[in-house]
């Protein structure tokens, strides 16, 4: 049976389950746990403490996710922590220092591989969680580019693959380096491992390839391959992976490339880094060019010409999500015109010209067979739900 953590809050056993305060043993009301107070009601002192607590908690989750490939919370729970952290900094801007997580991407390389400095940083995407957030995203772009309502903006709308991002550097058409995102500035050199992927050409097809060409995209494992791999791992007493993303990351970040070769990994190209020559003037044009070079690109990508079309795309992809053989956690909208992408540029760690419209966490109904309670060294009880897979 699958074992799921029933609670991720560190002190959930001392707090009322419904999140309200309950009297302590001296009969007085316990001090309200700041992590349960809405950001709009935090005092400056509470906000400072809560900001520090979230910084440490998020850093711990980043390490587990990016360096150890074994997260202990869901992506939706992680997004909630980040949203609370950002809301605190928004209300108390003094807390936003140079160390702020809002300026950081991923986690520094683990030391397992040689480091690679990215020619252009590998950044992250801002999230939209609602249709209104998408309307705001388009309105912000219109304002920034000073476009009036009659001017159409075309977007490339594509699934957001839940894998790990990769930068592939080709010089003279030959693959020379493959690097993970790392902290966005420096990644890990996984070239030997990437060479084992069928979806990554060793040499770009075509005659007129730019001298330097960095193709960026996502390495992923299909759901079917993930289940089969876990079966094999179980039989061999090896590591069991939590989800396809972790099994892709764990399979790629192996010291022995023959292990990576035995794991079926796919790659979708969706962007670029340094290019000595740009072979297209639109996002969708560049993606077509990558296909001509020998890459796989996502077949569900569409050109959308209005906010309504973007939102309809999100609905349609979400409806089909469970039937796809790879995990996605949302869709990404990118301004199609590259000259507009360049004018819009970046703000701290995310581009102004793109946004990830996330899906809510996938839901399913199951039976809870039992609750196992473990007692920690200090007497803290941790309940673990035992669920029907």
- Active-site positions? 160
> In the complex, what is the shortest distance from the CB of residue 49 to ligand IVH, in angstroms, rounded to a whole number?
29
Q: Mark 79-118 with x for binding to ligand IVH (rule: CB under 6 A) and - for no binding.
A: ----------------------------------------
193 sits near ligand IVH (criterion: CB under 6 A): no
332 sits near ligand IVH (criterion: CB under 6 A): yes
- From 35, 67, 165, 167, residue interacting with ligand IVH (rule: CB under 6 A): 165
Query: At CB < 8 A and 24+ separation, what contacts does 367-373 make?
Result: 369/1, 371/6
Helices (H), 92-155: 131-145
221 sits near ligand IVH (criterion: CB under 6 A): no
| Residue number with the smallest Cβ distance to ligand IVH | 165
Please compute Rg for the chain using Cα positions. 23
> In the complex, what is the shortest distance from the CB of residue 270 to ligand IVH, in angstroms, rounded to a whole number?
4
Closest CA to 165 of 269, 256, 317: 269
> In the complex, what is the shortest distance from the CB of residue 19 to ligand IVH, in angstroms, rounded to a whole number?
29
> In the complex, what is the shortest distance from the CB of residue 330 to ligand IVH, in angstroms, rounded to a whole number?
8
The single-letter DSSP state of residue 98 is T
**Cα–Cα–Cα angle for 269, 332, 135, nearest 5°?**
155
> In the complex, what is the shortest distance from the CB of residue 363 to ligand IVH, in angstroms, rounded to a whole number?
22
185 sits near ligand IVH (criterion: CB under 6 A): no
Contact 244, 221 (CB under 8 A): yes
> In the complex, what is the shortest distance from the CB of residue 156 to ligand IVH, in angstroms, rounded to a whole number?
9
Q: Give the 3-state secondary structure of residue 365.
A: coil
Phi, psi of 182 (to 5 degrees): 60, -130
Rounded Cα–Cα distance for residues 354 and 137 (Å)? 9
Stretch that binds ligand IVH, among 111-119, 160-168, 228-236, 367-375 (CB under 6 A): 160-168
- From 123, 134, 175, 229, residue interacting with ligand IVH (rule: CB under 6 A): 123
219 sits near ligand IVH (criterion: CB under 6 A): no
Could you tell me which residues are beta bridge partners of residue 217?
Answer: 166, 269
CA trace torsion 374, 376, 379, 380 (10° rounding): -70
- From 351, 357, 358, 359, residue interacting with ligand IVH (rule: CB under 6 A): 351
356 sits near ligand IVH (criterion: CB under 6 A): yes
Contacts of 233 (CB under 8 A, 6+ apart): 239, 240, 241
Rounded Cα–Cα distance for residues 41 and 170 (Å)? 52
Stretch that binds ligand IVH, among 27-35, 93-101, 156-164, 224-232 (CB under 6 A): 156-164
Which residues of the shown chain bind ligand IVH in the complex (CB under 6 A)? 123-125, 158, 160-161, 165, 181, 218, 270-271, 332, 351, 354, 356
């Amino acid at each position: 049976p699958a074992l799921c953590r029933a609670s991720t809050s560190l002190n959930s056993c001392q707090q009322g389950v419904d999140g309200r305060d309950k009297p302590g043993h001296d009969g007085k009301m316990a001090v309200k746990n700041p992590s349960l107070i809405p950001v709009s009601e935090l005092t400056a002192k509470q906000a400072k403490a809560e900001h520090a607590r979230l910084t440490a908690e998020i850093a711990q989750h980043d390490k587990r996710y990016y360096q150890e490939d074994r997260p202990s919370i869901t992506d939706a729970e992680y997004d909630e922590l980040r949203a609370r952290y950002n809301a605190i900094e928004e209300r108390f801007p003094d807390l936003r220092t140079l160390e702020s997580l809002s300026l950081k991407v991923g986690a520094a390389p683990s030391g397992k591989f040689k480091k690679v400095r990215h020619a252009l940083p590998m950044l992250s995407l801002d999230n939209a969680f609602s249709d209104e957030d998408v309307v705001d995203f388009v309105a912000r772009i219109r304002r920034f580019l000073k476009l009036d309502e009659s001017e159409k903006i075309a977007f490339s709308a594509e699934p957001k693959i839940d894998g790990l991002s990769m930068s592939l550097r080709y010089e003279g058409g030959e693959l020379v380096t493959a690097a993970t995102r790392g902290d966005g500035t420096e990644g890990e050199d996984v070239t030997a491992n990437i060479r084992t992927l069928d979806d990554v050409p060793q040499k770009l097809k075509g005659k007129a390839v730019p001298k330097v060409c960095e193709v960026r995209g996502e390495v992923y494992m299909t759901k079917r391959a993930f289940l089969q791999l876990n079966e094999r791992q179980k039989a061999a007493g090896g590591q069991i992976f939590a989800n396809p993303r972790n099994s892709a990351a764990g399979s790629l970040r192996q010291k022995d490339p023959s292990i990576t070769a035995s794991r079926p990994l796919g790659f979708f190209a969706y962007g670029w880094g340094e290019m000595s020559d740009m072979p297209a003037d639109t996002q969708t044009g560049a993606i077509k060019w990558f296909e001509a070079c020998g890459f796989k690109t996502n077949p569900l990508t569409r050109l959308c010409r209005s906010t309504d079309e973007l939102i309809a795309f999100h609905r349609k992809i979400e409806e089909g999500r469970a039937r796809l053989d790879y995990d996605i956690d949302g869709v990404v909208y990118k301004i199609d015109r590259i000259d507009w992408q360049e004018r819009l540029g970046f703000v701290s760690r995310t581009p102004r010209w793109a946004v990830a419209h996330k899906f809510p966490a996938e839901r399913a109904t199951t039976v809870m067979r039992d609750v196992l309670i473990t007692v920690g060294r200090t007497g803290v009880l941790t309940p673990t739900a035992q669920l029907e897979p």
